[in-house]
Amino acid sequence: MSTPPILVDQIIEARWIIPVEPDDTTLEHHSLVIQGERILDLLPTEQARQRYTARETTVLGEHILMPGLVNLHCHAAMTLLRGLADDLPLMRWLQEAIWPTEARHVGHAFVHDGSLLAAAEMLKGGITTCNDMYFYPDATAQAFARVGLRSVLGITVIDFPSGYGQNAEEYIAKGLAAREAWGQHPLIRFAIAPHAPYTVSDQNFERLGQLAEDLDLPIHVHLHETAQEVADSLRDHGQRPIARLDALGLLSPRLIAVHAVHLDETDRSTLAARGCSVAHCPTSNMKLASGAAPVADLVARGIPVGLGSDGAASNNRLDLLREMQQASLLAKLTTGDAAALPAHQILRMATLEGARALGMDADIGSLVPGKLADLCAVKLDAPETQPCYHPISHLVHVLGREAVSDVWVSGKRCLTQGKLLQITNTELLSVAQLWQNKIHL
């Protein structure tokens, strides 16, 4: 007597599945089986049809199914400042354009609405997890939760006052209150987020490092972004920023160094020895002329490197597919080695390595039974995507975010055939127009 098929919630049949683990693997004509929020099985489609029956079956006949992308560094609310101040180096961009505009406009409504636009943009581009750093994390949590984006939100701290807080004590108190309010939400986590070495004192860095250890949270910080940052640190502290933070006890596997562009041999060795991770933001670094991070060398040293978009004010897209291509090409250019960071390694950076940096790789970042079903489907049915000999290469060097057709977070569909399910374009366009009118008054 034959065994009856097992009833499951979902089966997704795909032309190709790229699980990321094992590395550099492409499975043809396979199916992903989902029960509840998690992946139950991954097996050839013919076997899946015999073994399972599903309440919902999705057939992706000319698609790649892969893990949802992990955006390891973003300032989501700054989507409302997209293109406001182009063609300036970092400190002029901050001091002359961004900080004054933020002082006039940033509040709960600004952050909520900007984060809503950002979440929609990211989901439409296949991003299912975002590591964010900004003020009013409660407002960001509301926006992200509405559309179903998984996130790690920064308890952001700087030493100078803003409309959000007057001092580090107030920033910390408000961030911890948001964490308490959202602590039980399945999609929302938090990180300690000191802004940068040039905006946070030794005393506050030490306090935040202890808080991160006490609460077992990641530390998300801009670090060695520009040559000026390093020079100013040597002048003011007698140390490079990485050495300073190491002396203060912040360097550990929980630290995510954002940008990490200007690194000497000692900096690189220290990051590796302490188990730190790096968030590589190639487009932002190029646009602000900050430089090119030595990513191929960092990866060779075993340092986890994920990819980040940075904010839309300095990129100007929240598009990890583009970051994948930029990271690949920039590594080849700067090393003079065409074999540097091959496509499968870039995809791993955009998925599993980002998850690893956040301490979430047991749950997301690859398509392995037992993990959460955070998924992205990318279609290859257009003539400009053909022929396709190597699907992973296509992800990095051919496809753009417009090819993303379907997205699931924890097994729940957020995007179908390119259309968001929790919010309309009409509402998003209305929000964008409202703030454009306010900011340009």
CA-closest candidate to residue 360, choices 410, 414, 422: 410
Q: If you average pLDDT over residues 388-414, what whole number do you get?
A: 98
Segment 265-310, tens digit of pLDDT:
999 999 999 999 999 999 999 999 999 999 999 999 999 999 999 9
Q: How far apart are CA 291 and CA 282, in angstroms?
A: 9
Average pLDDT estimate for 388-407: 97
pLDDT for 22:
96
Task: Round the average pLDDT of the chain to a whole number and report it.
Answer: 97
52-61, 76-85, 170-179, 366-375: the lowest-pLDDT one: 76-85
Q: Which segment of 32-41, 89-98, 165-174 scores lowest on mean pLDDT?
A: 89-98
Q: What angle do CA 171, 190, 137 make, to 5 degrees?
A: 50
Residue 159, Cα to own-chain centre: how many angstroms? 26
Residue 120 has pLDDT above 80, yes or no: yes
CATH 2.30.40.10 location in the chain: 6-67+372-410
Output the CA angle 299-288-337, nearest 5 degrees: 35
Per-residue pLDDT tens over the stretch 241-260: 999 999 999 999 999 999 99
CATH 3.20.20.140 location in the chain: 69-357
How many Cβ atoms are within 10 Å of 147's Cβ, its own excluded? 21
pLDDT at 90: 82
Domain 6-67+372-410 has CATH 2.30.40.10: yes
Strands 277-280 and 38-44: what pairing?
unpaired
| CA–CA gap between residue 18 and residue 24 (Å, rounded) | 8
3-state secondary structure of 53: strand
Superfamily of domain 69-357: Metal-dependent hydrolases (3.20.20.140)
Residue 209 carries which side chain, given as an amino acid letter?
G
pLDDT of 335 over the 60 cut: yes
At 1 the pLDDT is 55
The 10s digit of each residue's pLDDT in 163-216 is: 899 999 999 999 999 999 999 999 999 999 999 999 999 999 999 999 999 999
Q: What's the pTM?
A: 0.97
Average pLDDT over residues 105-113: 96
Phi and psi torsions of 31, nearest 5°: -130, 145
In which band, very low, low, confident or very high, does the pLDDT at 93 lie, cut at 50, 70 and 90? confident
Confidence check: pLDDT of 73 > 60: yes
Residue 441 reports pLDDT greater than 70: no
Task: Tell whether the model's pLDDT for residue 410 goes beyond 90.
Answer: yes
Instruction: Please tell me the predicted confidence (pLDDT) of residue 216.
Output: 98
